[in-house]
Structures are given as C-alpha cells and as structure tokens.
Structure 1
C-alpha cells in the first residue's frame, strides 16, 4: 500500500484528520468514509506535498502500473475532491494545472503518536521491574460455579470459529465465482500506430474488416484481419479515404465508401474462398460526409445516408445493386438533422437508426420493415457514434465512452453496463453471444495552435508564436487585448471549462461547471471584459471580472453563431424558425431581443462598426452600411458549414472552405476584389480560426494525432 510509510503518524490535511487504517476522514461535521483507492490517492499526494503529480506518477504509484484510462483517474480525483468539499475553480485542497498534474495545496500537520507497546517492550520492562501478580482464581471458579467442565468453553469457541471460517470460505467461493462469471474481459484486437475505426465481423468467414490511418494527415484504408490469425491484409490504397466497410451476409463481398474531395463512391469488393479480392466495382456516386453503409438482408441492395438537398435532413436510402434504382427509406422531419447511423436486426425484420434532433437530442428509432411502421421511438441523452444489434436481435448496443449501454427491444428499457478502466469511442459489431467489438477512445482529440498568416510575407521566425504547454482536449480559442493572452475551451477532470492562458503563466480557470456541457464559438470583445459563446445551444456571456455567467437565450430557441456588435453593447445570433434561420439582435443593457430579418445564418460588424456583413443560407455574404439600409453589396459566395470560419480584418475577408476532409484558406481584398487562396489543412474535420489583433497570426483549432485501437469485449452480461 502507498500509505505503509505513515507508520503511527497522525496527519491533518486542512480541516480533516486522516485515519489511514480505517480509510476515513473526520472534521467537526463528522466522519467521511473513503474508498481504498481514494485514500491511496490522498496519501500519495501527501507524500508528494509541494510537487506536481502527473497522471503517469499516479499510474505507477497508486494504480501500481495497471493500465487505466485518463477518465478513470479523473473519477477518483473527483471523489477525493467531493469528500474534501473542494472546488476546482477555487481550490483549497487539490489544484489542477493542465500538462503538469495535481498539486496538494492544503496545510499538512504531522504528529507522532505514542508508540504502542510490543512484546519486546514488555520483555524489557520485565528485566527491570518485578513481574506483577496476576490471579485467575475468580475466572476459574466462575466457570466451575456454573457447572461447566473446565475445557468445554474453549472447545465451544474453537467449534464456533471453525463453522464461521467454513461459512466465510464457502461464501467467498460463491461470491468470486459469480464475480468471475460477470467480469468484463477487454482483449486487444488490433494495435496499429494511428487510428482504427468501424470494424465489421462476419460469422460465415470469421474475418474482420476495419479502417485505419497512420497519422492525422493520412488517409483511411480498409484492412482485413484473417480468422484465428494475427495476419492483417491491406485491401485499399491511394489518396482517398476508404471507410465504413461492411460484409455482405454471405461473407463473399464487402461494401465501403471511397471518398475523394467532395465526391463519395459506393464500392464493392468480391472475394474467393481463399479471401483474395477477385473484382472491384463502383456502384453509386454521391456527396456526403456520413460514413454509413450496410447491406440489405438478402445482399441485393446497399443502404447509405444522404440528403435530398442541402435544405433536407440526412435520410437513409437504398440502391438496388443490379438495376441501380434508388429508394428513400426514412423521412425525418425538417427540424431534425436526420438519421446518421443504422443497422438491420440479424433476422432482417427490423431496422434500427439513430436520429439527431435539435437541442443535442438523439432518438433511437426501430422500424418494422414488413409493416412499414415505427415500432419504437426512444430518446437517448447523448449522441452515440453508431449502434449494433446483439447476435440474437434482442438488444441494441452503443456506448457513452464510460458506459456500455443497450436497449432491450422486448421490454423497451435502457440498461447500463459499467466499463472498468477503459474508455470506448464506439461499439462496432457483435462477434458472438457474449462478445462485442469496440473502438477505444482517446482524450486528446483536438488542440489549438498559433500559426503565421500564410498570406503575409513576414517570416515565421520573426513572429513570436505562442506555445501551449498543456496536453488535453482544447478548442474554440480567441485572442484577448494582450499580445500573448488567449481564452479557450479545455477539458479538465473530464468536464469542459473555459480557461485563460498567457505565455509563461499558469492556466487560469474561469468556470466551474460540475456537469458536462458543450462549449463552442467562444468570442472575446476587445472593449469589454466579457466573453460570448454557446453552451448547449444557449447564447451566454461570461464576465471576466466576477466570473458571472448570464444566459441570453433559452435552449428551446436553438441559437447559433453568436457575434458581437462593434461597440460591444449588443449581440447578433441566429435561431431556427420553421426550417429557416432568423437574425436576432440582443441589447445587453435593456435585455431586449429584436428579430431583424429571416434567412440569415450569421451577422458580423467590422472593428469600427462601419459595415455589417450578412451571410444567408445560400452562402451569399453581403455588406451593408447598417441593418436598415436597403442597398447591399455582394462580397463573396462562401461555405455555410459550421466547421469553418470567416472573418473581416481591416480591408480583407478571410474564410476557410472544405474539399472533402481538406481545407483551403481564402483572402479577398474588399476594395479591389482581388482573390488569393492557399491549400491549408489536410484530412481534418474542421478549420475554425481567429485572427490576431495585428493580423500577422491565426489561432487554429486542429485535430490531434489519432490513437485508437480495436478491442474485444467479452462478458456474460452481453448474452441476450
């Protein structure tokens, strides 16, 4: 144990007296019992008083080298904080500093307890003092007076303890037998450098197919893992993303998406009995970023996700492989973002799909394919990446990273299965009655970095590029008034918070959210000590002086793309109204909201407030002298995607544009109309950026190097 070194010391941490032997804390308010692992953590922090303790230190010294996820560590730290009544934002006991670790900052007092006498102590006393006279007459006479034989009591005691010991042994054997039957076994399936995604298992050929890329700028390719072998074969190559591979039920064919630029092809590979590719064909071309492909139960059609148009939600379509006829299968309402993941039940009677609605709500839909009716419609409190049916068709599995969840089709109830010491990204497929294939997850998905403006002639070496000394999931940054001072979203102890960082200083925590939120579109106003942003689709402001949060909108408004007015007295944002976006102006002083006009996705004013720029749903960016002016000037046609940015800086318009998973950066001179473009980000999901106040640098939100493996999950509780 970590706390073996304590001996007989009495230790007080802050206001708490620590009882290591009984694993509990006590203060004037009472006694708090701690789990052994939480006490081990506290003891190690005490031993390292005044030093930063990294997660690696904790793994080696508290978890004894066992492999656990970052979230498992954070959960134990949170339990200790809760027991101490500590506050992450205003820490009195445990301070968290990104990229450094945890620091115990409370006062520690160590007192030496009196030594408990041992047998040697008594022996030394016996050598110097006469032995005391001890009489046992009363005890013996007491037994005889009760008519009990002299040795019968000792026999009864021995008999009693024998029975007790046997009972404990029998119970322990039963308990550990039951526990072993319910223990989740997570076994590594693949461990290739980079990221593995979307595995699919076929019962007839026993093979597994999956997608893999080596680096953040690499392309996904399809790989085949042979049954009962460590042999892995690469099936695709080239400058395209190949993913969403699915076996046909026969095990002789597989389908996948081949994406190059904005175009996607549905591809089919045919195999012989030796699992060698015999032919390849392109079935259909379309435009989508949704990696969803699966076969019909009879292997005669392919199902995929697409849109009727840009104004329609994602729906499930089917294409007949022979005739190439296309049929729309699902019809989500316009207010929904649509269906993004689906799979047939093993018997082909039902189709399960995940439908993303507004307000970050996802519904699990089950369609009866014979009757055409919706047999089940239930809400999930988060957005799983995908789903899979259990092998018997009675359950639908998905994951929330730290919990394996399933929907029981017969009872129409949801159930959780805890995942110990492992973080999962998604459940890919069933591989038996008590087996699932899953993707492990990684915490450090995105980072922020500062880069030189690629259009300027200033050499990077002549610029002071801000270095970020932290390791975690960060995003949505913005500059403040100071030269090397930024504000951004960071994940701390598993929760998204807003933090502030200046070069050479420690990160300052600005929020103290106790539940997880989705924080995006953070914006700082140079004339105000206030932040603007979106939290779970609500517009909010954060006062940097007193750290008070003010919610501008309700979540039901489904607000989007907030921005400041030039004077900082008002806020623009868009909200959904009957399938369209309406521009709203909010005045901070009066707290009054005014609807300005329809069909506007975003509005921004230039720094001096001379012009207002309006982006509509067609991607047309117009410039007006003010909102009431009739005349407007078309500046450019730019993308309306939420994963790009556009900014007006002095006399230039900057914006990023996607080409599949690559992005270009554009610059337009607002007076002359001169245009420039550079190839910018490769094989990524977003290209959001902010312009430095001097225009020489950008803050960029980027994907990190992927690090995900495939694993088997085996557990008797998975048997449906």
Structure 2
C-alpha cells in the first residue's frame, strides 16, 4: 500500500478507479461524477492520512468534527456518503472498513494522479486546523439548513392533491398514455378497499368496483384499455381482468393462475402478459423453505412461467417492473431479512446487467417517464433513489420525507406522483386474551397521541408498558405505568436521533433491562440507571434477539457470508460466543424448555437427547413475535388482511387461531405475564391521499 502526499497544487487523489478532488468535492469514476460535501471530504482525507490504522470515534470527533458532540448516527451518515460516492461495500470493503466497537480503517491504495511511481512519499494530509475549519463550516451550514427547513416538513416541495376524497388512498398507479390515475380507497378501517380511477384530462373521478367486496391491487394496461385487480370472495385473493371503458369495468373475468398466494406487479410493455410474484418451494434438508420469485402470465395462452430464480434466505423478489420499451426488467430482491438489492435484467436474453445493494427497503419501484432508462425507488419511510441503467449509478436523495412516500409516477421535470399520509397511523390497544377465560375482566388500555405509537410490551410484572413513538424527526422510547400508586406516570426513557425502524423490544425476566434493535443493530437499555448501550456494530446485520430465561444472556442471530449464525452475548463478561449455525432465534421458557427457530422458519423444540422436534413453520417476516408460556406457543400471522393470533398447545399439539384485527398488517404483540390480555399496535385510518410533488428531488 502506497499512500502519497496530495500536493496543494492538485489536491487530488486516485483511489482505484475513483479520482477525488478535495478542492471541488468531485468524485469521478466509471459510474459517472458525484460531489461530496465538505464534512465527508474531511472524513475521507483524515482516514487516508491514517491509512492502515484503526481510527476511533474519539479521534474522529477531535480531528474531523473539531470536538463537537455528534451522534453515532451522524458519523454513520457521513461514512455512508463516502462509501456511496466511492462505490464501496461495507461488507466487502475496498476502502473503508468498519472495525466493530473500535472505529474505521482505510484499507485501500491512495496515489496522486500522474505522479511517477518511483517517488513514493508519506501522505501528510491537511493540517488539523484546515480540516476543522472545513468541518465547522459544513456543520454550520447543516444546522442553518435544518432550522431553515424545519417547517414545512418536505423541504419546500410544492404538494398538490390529485383527488379530493376524505379517507385513505393507496396503491396508486399512473398511466401516462391516457393521463389516468387508478388506486384503492377506503373511508374507514372497518371498510374493505374499493377501486377508483381519476381521468386527469377531464378531472372526473370514477368508482370502479360496484360492491363492497375486498379488493386489493389495481393496474391499468399500457394502452389504457384493461384493468387488472385482485379480489377476495372468501377463498383468498383471486386475479381478475376487465375492459375499461369511460370509467366503467366491463366483462370482468377471473384469470386461471395456478399460484394461490400471489401479488400483482403490473404489465409487460406490450400488454400481452402480466407480472406477479409468488412463493416457490425448495428443499432444505428435511424441511421446505420458500421465497418469492417473479412469474409472467400470458393472456393469449393462459400459461404461467417463472422468470426469476432467487437463491435467497429472505423473502425473495418482492417488486418487479418492465421498462416501457420492453428492454429491461427491474427487480427488488430481499436477499436477507433486512438486505435489499436492485437487479436489472436484459429482456431479450435474460442477462443480469446490474446488481446494486440498496440502503433501504424499497416499497415502490417505477420506471421514469422523464429520464429514459432510469428507475425511481422509494420507501414507506420517505427515502428516494434514482438508478441510471446505462451508467449503473444509484443516486440516493439526502432528503427523507416521512409522510410523503411511495413514488408511482412522474408529472414533469422534478415533479413526482406520490402518496401523502398523516403520521398518526397507529395507536396501542389491549384486549382480553381470547384463549384465556377469566371471571374478572382485565383492564383495557389505549395509548393514543398525535404521533404514531408501536411495538408495545409489558414490563416483567405487567405493571407498566414500554413502547415506541415517532414524529417527523425522532423516535422515542417511553414507559407508561398503568398499575399501582404511580399509575398514569409516563416517562421518556430515550430519544433516537433517527427515523430508522426501532423494533424487537423485550424486557428481561428480572425487569432490569430492555432489549431492542435499530434496523439491524442491537442495543440494551438499563432501566434503573437510564443507560443506553450498543451491543453490536453498525455494519453487523442482526436479526431476531431474545433473552435467556435467567436474564444472564442475550441470544441473537447475525448474518455471516450469506448464512445465519446464532450467537450469545454475556451480560457478565460482555463477550459474544457462537452457539449454532443456520438458526435465527433461541427461545427459553420459565420451565427450562428450549426452542430454536431455524433459517427455514421451522420452530423446533430441543429434546433431552439433543435432537430437535419440529413443531410448526412460522411466517417469514422481518419482525416476528414468538412467546412460550405455560407450555403453549403463541405467534401471529396474516391471511388476506386479517391478522390471526395463534396458540399451539404443546401437550396436545392442538392449534387454535383468533382473528385479532381486520384490514391491516399488524404482527407484533405481547402477552401480559398473567396471560390475561394481549397488547398490540393497531392501524388507524391515517388520512392519506395521492399527490403531485414539485421540488422533491
């Protein structure tokens, strides 16, 4: 490794195929040109000056952030910007390597462009004061920008409603050829979805579904002559196609698609085929594992064929769109529980042209009408990215707009069609345990505010509830006492300076600690001392985590080289040791029974002789609650839009199910320690509409 001094005259450095100019912030490579802000530049400059050494967080704060107090998230955001610009991968780093719980290390080669190779010199970097000055200016600009743009929340974007309906609009799709908008709508949470269309040329709104049946997904053919939709008539969602004439669906007919549990993805470019994803099964030792693949169904000969073949431990291929000219097929693949990739295939020969790691869970994918051969990807949390197919370049917007998400089309240059919704879309409720009879009904609780509340759990003795809340900038961890002399006392325990998903809350059996995850990073909270502690590094992919029955250990699984490893963290020694391969979770109950969730989502019970007895295959979900109490197993799953709470009696192996909630996607719940009640986060009818957004990108 040769790291040479960057001359003040050039202020440039070559990092493999990346040419970085520290004066302009320009980064040039085979994928095009990007610009880095002063703070990421200062970080990269300092890391190169310490090439090969592990640079601690404290050193970064001193030499790059000039002793200012910043959060871990702020540092990670800067690191991510540098990696994106350089085309670096945190899992297989070519330049910046994360050393868990220690810091960062520059591991690449840095050379001065056009300098003779026989004149190596030690890279001295810029002075400490120069770096601090640059970083300080960047921080001041960032702070001014935040305060200036605190209101409105969408960074000055102009938002114009496309419809004027009071209720919830979802699943929008725009047909540019006919200038027509199609979508789903419901007026309350107790109603199923109906189908609507809006003729934007004549400003006419049509209700397409004549009855109150449960409809789901709607898509218009490229020429605007047909409508594709799903409907549940009591035996699951079936696929229908109908002719579309002047706001009316005519001659609806059911398509004979062999797969049962499928989700429509739209049309082929010529309108002769439809795309959908469905589960495919593969053998995994003695159990069957499944993930989603993309299928094409021919409307001419009524034949389905599988067109993608994911080798995935995640949900597989969750989104797919064919380009308007029919040249490309774009697919979003859930590789592992929280890892998503964008794949672009050539349609004429099926060749994989691009595979790009996404830094977020894309909930919508659409081809651009304004920029040929480019894609727009967006998330429910308000993230937005554009992918240029010709250059293979993914550009992620720095603006995150909670409540403004799911891009489904374009309306001109820097004009997007999106969904806007209120932030108060979940409250917390408790209900009697449907599997438990009691002469004294339990207290029923409801936790509601102007914010969204989710992930509630009971304290170890049931006297309090821990839960999470979020506004448009932060996430919060609260404790609410609902029993005893302090009933009604609400305490803010911790504020997360991030809008990332906080999930998996669990309380230890002794009531001393809370366990949870921010995205894929594990944390622990000391309730009595009000101390927050990260247990894993930011670049580690952590999935399910559980307390041991004695509260001495935390079991969790980590992704290592595309497989899951079950690990154990000791509270006494802070050491981590390996327990088992190809396992997602370990659950211990108060009687000493041990259960293991394998990577094919089969739950097994460990026998006395060390063998495993398979009990049930659970739904493949990034968030899955498994509770074992009084020799019974509890979990939740979803059929259509009905969430069922399940109980498996481990004596008789009798399984019972109860419809916990309708017309929503709730899966997380908790049981009171005395099994008297169930608490969960219930979806509200958050007012949402489809809008035109100018100035978002």
TM-score (norm 1): 0.66
* 2:172 is aligned with 1:199: yes
SS at match of 2:573: coil
SS at match of 1:223: strand
CA distance in 2, matches of 1:625, 1:354: 40
* 2:595 is aligned with 1:613: yes
CA distance in 2, matches of 1:620, 1:603: 12
CA distance in 2, matches of 1:591, 1:522: 20
CA distance in 2, matches of 1:661, 1:288: 15
Q: Which residue of 2 aligns with 1:688?
A: 668
Selected match of 1:661 from 636, 641, 644: 641
Moved more, 565-574 or 363-372: 363-372
Greater strand proportion:
2
1:417–1:667 Cα change, 3 Å: closer
Say which one has the larger Rg.
1
Does the 8 Å CA contact 1:293/1:303 hold for their aligned counterparts? yes
Alignment of 1:81-230 (within 5 A): 185-230=158-203
**Residue 570 of structure 1, CA deviation:** 1.5
1:432–1:281 Cα change, 3 Å: farther
Does the 8 Å CA contact 1:307/1:315 hold for their aligned counterparts? yes
Q: Which residue of 1 aligns with 2:325?
A: 347
Alignment of 1:205-604 (within 5 A): 205-236=178-209, 241-259=214-232, 263-272=236-245, 274-285=246-257, 291-309=263-281, 311-335=289-313, 337-358=315-336, 360-394=338-372, 395-399=374-378, 405-410=385-390, 412-413=392-393, 423-431=403-411, 435-458=415-438, 462-492=441-471, 494-503=473-482, 504-554=487-537, 558-576=541-559, 581-604=564-587
SS at match of 2:375: strand
CA distance in 1, matches of 2:518, 2:662: 28
1:467–1:421 Cα change, 3 Å: closer
Q: Which residue of 2 aligns with 1:76?
A: none
Does the 8 Å CA contact 2:167/2:188 hold for their aligned counterparts? yes
SS at match of 2:422: coil
Does the 8 Å CA contact 1:643/1:685 hold for their aligned counterparts? no
Does the 8 Å CA contact 2:173/2:219 hold for their aligned counterparts? yes
Does the 8 Å CA contact 1:303/1:316 hold for their aligned counterparts? yes
1:492–1:234 Cα change, 3 Å: closer
Contiguous gaps of at least 5 residues in structure 1: 1-84, 89-181
Does the 8 Å CA contact 1:367/1:374 hold for their aligned counterparts? yes
SS at match of 2:646: strand
**Residue 583 of structure 1, CA deviation:** 3.7
**Residue 513 of structure 1, CA deviation:** 2.8
**Residue 568 of structure 1, CA deviation:** 0.8
1:241–1:610 Cα change, 3 Å: same
Greater helix proportion:
1
1:238–1:689 Cα change, 3 Å: farther
1:687–1:240 Cα change, 3 Å: farther
* Count of residue pairs brought into register by the alignment: 535
* 2:624 is aligned with 1:647: no
TM-score (norm 2): 0.68
Q: Which residue of 2 aligns with 1:130?
A: none
Contiguous gaps of at least 5 residues in structure 2: 1-67, 72-154, 282-287
